[in-house]
Amino acid sequence: MSMIKKTIFILVTSILTPFALTGEHHEEKLPVTAEEQSQLTPDNVLSDLIAGNERFVEGHLPKYDVASNREAAVSGQFPKAYVLSCVDSRVPVEHVFNQGLGDIFVGRVAGNVENVDQLGSIEYATKYAGVKLVIVLGHESCGAVKGTIAGVEDGNLSLLLEKISPAVAMTTNHSHHDSNTKNKAYVKDVVTNNVIKTVKDIRARSSILSGLEAEGKIKIVGAVYSLETGQVKIL
């Protein structure tokens, strides 16, 4: 190999090797289009989000061309799903499901409970914005759930925690002695029951959402996120 060719080879290798090792690249991924959204079903959106979560668990985050995605989203939005999540900063919803700009709606409130504002937002997302799937996403070691178990009372927080208290009452598979925030299994069961209750309440409190689900146009499901593994378990 001549000295010139050898020099060129070294330069090219030194430039490309870091990308090969780290996997840094921009995927050819743009926000969901109106045509793509119209072809989606509740089941294949759920499958897509589960597959996205599997990639997140493996440590893969989407690396999109931000400028192109931002530009493509200016003319409109056609998300696939609405995720009602807790406000917990350790649950980055778009990352958890490996989704990008314009792919999903995210509503956040401590304890992932439904209220009139959240219900109205979900109704808008499904009836008018074309969303096919609604996920109520709880997470392990939820502070709002722990606060409810501990009987915290403080300002407007008390009114919020009242919405979670029925889930505490539902959780009867532990002894009274073990029904406290130090018992991880008990907290986990209350978290799960809180998600189940919220899904049930969404259907009961919104004839629009229950009607769309009965027609097969949307699906409403509950799920719990593991802080330790990053995995989302569909209930």
pLDDT at 15 > cutoff 70 = no
pLDDT number for residue 7: 43
Query: What are the residues whose beta carbons fall under 8 Å from the beta carbon of 219, sequence distance 6 or more?
Result: 42, 43, 46, 132, 133, 134, 213
pLDDT at 19 > cutoff 50 = no
d(CA 144, CA 157) in angstroms, rounded, equals 9
Q: What is the model's pTM?
A: 0.86
Sheet holding 104-108, edge to edge: 104-108, 81-85, 133-139, 219-225, 232-234
d(CA 75, CA 30) in angstroms, rounded, equals 13
pLDDT band at 6 (very low <50, low <70, confident <90, very high): very low
pLDDT number for residue 234: 98
In the predicted model, what is the mean pLDDT of the chain? 89
Residue 89 φ/ψ, nearest 5 degrees: -70, -10
pLDDT number for residue 81: 98
Residue listed under structure tokens 């900063």: 89
Domains of the chain: 27-234 (3.40.1050.10)
* pLDDT digit string, tens, across residues 77-110: 999 999 999 999 999 999 999 999 999 999 999 9
